[in-house]
Structures are given as C-alpha cells and as structure tokens.
Amino acid sequence: MADCIICQIVEGKIPSKKVYEDDELVAILDVNGANPGHCFVIPKQHFPIMEQVPDNIIAKAFSVANKISISIFDELKAQGTNLFVANGIPAGQKVAHFMINVVPRYEGDIVNMTWKPRQLSEEEMSAVELKIKEHSENIGGFSVSSKPKSLDSKKIESISSEEDEDNYLMKSLTRIP
C-alpha cells in the first residue's frame, strides 16, 4: 500500500535498521523505542490488523519474535521482554499495518504497560465467557487439550548439562520464573 509508512520501510523507501529478514517478514529496530532494542516484526505484505493476516504468517511472525526476544536476553542482557500487538485504534495501533512489538525490559525501566484492573461481576464474566466460547467453537483450530505436563527441574538440569551451552531452548528454560 503506497501511503503506508510500514510498507515504505519494507520496500526500502524509508531507511531502517533491519535485524531480521526473509521472504515474508522483516524485523526492524524502532527508532522511538521504549528501550534500546525495541523491535517490530512485520509481514512484508500489507495487512492492517491481525485478523487479516494468514495463520501461517502469524505463526512465523511469533516464532521470529520469540527468536528476537532470545537475542535481546542474550545480547542486550535484558531481564524480560514484552511481546504485544496493538490491534485496532482503541488498542493503541498508530499505523494500519500489523506488527508485533518486542520490547526489552529491565528492572526499574520507565516503560509503563500496566492498567487498572476492572473487577467484573460473576454475571458479566459468564456472559463474556459464553459469547467468546460460542463464537470460537465455529472458528476451527481450537481444541481441548490435556493439562500440560509440569517441568521437572532436576531433569532440566541434567539435560542442560548434557546439551551444548548455546542451545537456545535450554537457555530459555532458565528464564522461567
């Protein structure tokens, strides 16, 4: 889309600092980021909101966002990351092009991503639950799964000592609070 600033970045008409690129996605540093290393993971094809993005691109984009988060932990020594999507104007979306924000976080940083909790009545909760549940049953791809198995910390330690130190999956297990 010609007037989309993100599309112009993707097309190289506006300079950017790319940290990742393939045929479908690009990840760039945010010039006005919340913290150094704040990135956007962006589909190259123009999709204004998440609902319009094909599932395979959503899956790939979140996989790339996860890998960038790992790099931010390892290389920028971040203590946490926020991954979020501002989906629609009321949600804070400023540009009509879907993107995933990957924000490095540090203890004491001034990034504020909190909100005042809103306590719903049992009646409100039940009404919302019913609406979402009824609609999501018709979407497809939703399935009831068994409870995930808990991780045995001794088993993780024995595996991690046997595995290569650079294994990002094992490193990520050490970040589990």
Please give the pLDDT value at position 137.
79
**What is the distance, to the nearest Å, from the Cα of residue 12 to the centroid of all Cα atoms in its chain?**
24
pLDDT range class, residue 10, cuts 50, 70, 90: very high
Q: Is the pLDDT confidence value at 38 over 80?
A: yes
The model's pTM is: 0.75
The alpha carbon torsion through 88, 93, 96, 100 (nearest 10 deg) reads -100
Q: What is the model's pLDDT at position 43? A: 98
Return phi, psi of residue 121, to 5°: -70, 165
Give the three-state DSSP class for 21: strand
Q: In the structure encoding, which two tokens stand for residue 70, read together?
A: 């790992």
What is the C-alpha separation between 36 and 77, in angstroms, rounded?
Answer: 11
Q: DSSP for 115-172, please give it.
A: ----PPPHHHHHHHHHHHHHHHHTTSS----PPPPPP-HHHHHHHHHHS-TT-HHHHH
**Run of H or E residues at 6:** helix 5-10
| pLDDT digit string, tens, across residues 11-22 | 999 999 999 999
Residue 97 has pLDDT above 70, yes or no: yes
Domains and their CATH numbers in the chain = 5-105 (3.30.428.10)
